[in-house]
Amino acid sequence: MKTTTSKLPQEFLNRISAQYPAHIDRIIAGFNQEIQTAIQHNFFSSKKPEGLAANPFSEILDQRPVFAHDPHWHAGQYYVQEASSQHLYALIKFSLEGLNEPLVADFCAAPGGKSLTALNAMEGRGVLWSNEIISSRANVLRENISKWGHGNSIVSSCDTSDLAEMGAQFDLILVDAPCSGEGMFRRDQIAIDEWNPGLPKMCAERQSDILTNAYHSLKPGGRLLYSTCTMAEEENDAQARWLIEEYGFRSLQFDGQAFGAMELEHGWLFTPGAQHGEGLYFCLLEKPQEEAWSLKGARKKGIDLLPRKREEQVKNLLPEIDLNSYTFFENKQGVRALSEFMIPLLDSAKQVRIPILQAGFALGIEKSGKWVPAHELSMMKRLPMHFNEVPLDFEQALRFLQLEDPQIQAKGWVMVTFEGSRLGWVKAMGNRNNNYYPKHWKLRKGI
CB-based contact 42:391 (threshold 8 Å): no
Angstrom CA distances, 396 to 42, 46, 70, 374, 400, stand at: 24, 23, 12, 21, 6
CB-based contact 373:364 (threshold 8 Å): yes
Helices (H) and strands (E) in the chain, counts: 15, 21
Rounded distance between C-alpha atoms, residue 300 and residue 297, angstroms: 6
Report which secondary-structure segment, H or E, holds 367: strand 361-367
CB-based contact 393:71 (threshold 8 Å): no
Angstrom CA distances, 140 to 61, 77, 157, 347, 416, stand at: 24, 17, 12, 25, 24
Amino acid at 300: K
For every residue of 310-322, DSSP letters joined together read HHHHHHHH-TTB-
**Among 158, 179, 203, 229, which one carries the catalytic annotation?**
229
Rounded to the nearest 10°, the torsion over CA 146, 375, 126, 296 is: 100
CB-based contact 444:417 (threshold 8 Å): no
Angstrom CA distances, 31 to 6, 14, 91, 188, 270, stand at: 10, 15, 26, 12, 12
Residue 351, helix vs strand vs coil: helix
Name the residue among 69, 78, 77 with its Cα closest to residue 402: 69
**229 classed as catalytic:** yes
CB-based contact 226:283 (threshold 8 Å): yes
| Phi, psi torsion values for 142, nearest 5 degrees | -60, -45
CB-facing half-sphere around the CA of 390: CA atoms within 13 A = 21
Known catalytic residues are: 229
